[in-house]
Chain A
Amino acid sequence: MAETATPSRWLPRRPWEGVLADGHFGKADETGVTVQTREALGIATLITGEDSHAALDAAMYEHFRLSLPRTPMAVRSGSRQAVWSGPGQWLLVADSREGFRGDLAKLAGLAAVSDQSDGRAVLSLSGPRVRDLLAKGAMLDLHPAAFPVGTAASTSIAYLGVTLWRSADSPEGPVFEIMVARSMAGSFWSWLSASAAEFGYAVTSRRASSADRG
Chain B
Amino acid sequence: MTLRIAVPIVLLAIVALLPLVAPWSQVVLTLALAKGLAVLGIVLLLHAGQVSFGHALFFAVAAYSAAFLGEAFAGGELVMMIVLGLGASLFFGLMVGLFVVRYRHIFFGMLNLAFSMIFYSILEKFYHVTGGADGMQVARPTVVGIEMERAGFETLLFYGSLVLCVAVAFCIHRFLSSPIGNMFKTIKTNETRLEYLGISARRTLLVGYVVSAGLCGLGGVLMAVAQGIVTPEYAWWIRSGELVFIAILGGAGSVAGAFVGAIIYEAVRVNAAAFAADVWQMVLGFFLLAIILFASRGLVGLYERLMDRLESKKPQAKEPQEKRVPGAAE
Decide whether A and B assemble into one complex.
Answer: no
- Chain B: residues with CB nearer than 8 A to chain A? none
- Chain A: residues with CB nearer than 8 A to chain B? none
